[in-house]
Copies of this chain bind each other. A is one copy, B any other.
């Protein structure tokens, strides 16, 4: 595992923690290019009352705004959870260079849902997976109380 991958995934996890504290399903994402974070976001579906407000969607919008172009080929997105079909579709359109995600989402992840990323997008999974999965499990356990 690359040290830089661990570092940037920790940044995505910090975003996920912000979501947790706000009562949102704790998923975070950061976009990196040239060793620099150019976008960071966390799930805001509850606060914005909007099913489209996943961390990845916001991060794509932010990164494109930063770059001044809608394609993200030189970028890597770090996400604490496997993207859903919607987010995979958005990442597909962005032609992002690389996606690194932590925990798998066996039920609602894009692979289970039949979605796909762009064929040129490199995918790495499992970076800090336990930390990310534990956070989500804690969230749902706290909701059941």
Which residues of A are in contact with B by a Cβ distance under 8 Å? Answer: 45, 49-52, 57, 60-61, 64-65, 68-71, 84-90, 92-94, 113-116
* 9 cross-chain pairs, A with B, having the tightest CB-CB distances, nearest first: A86-B89, A85-B89, A51-B93, A114-B114, A86-B90, A49-B70, A52-B90, A51-B70, A51-B94
* Nearest CB of B to A98, in Å: 17
Interchain CB contact (< 8 A) of A45 among B68, B70, B84, B115: B70
Complexed CA–CA distance, A36 and B75 (Å):
42
Query: Which residues in B have their C-beta under 8 angstroms from that of A116?
Result: 85, 113-114
5 contacts between A and B (CB under 8 A): A49-B64, A51-B60, A85-B89, A86-B88, A92-B113
* Nearest CB of B to A31, in Å: 13
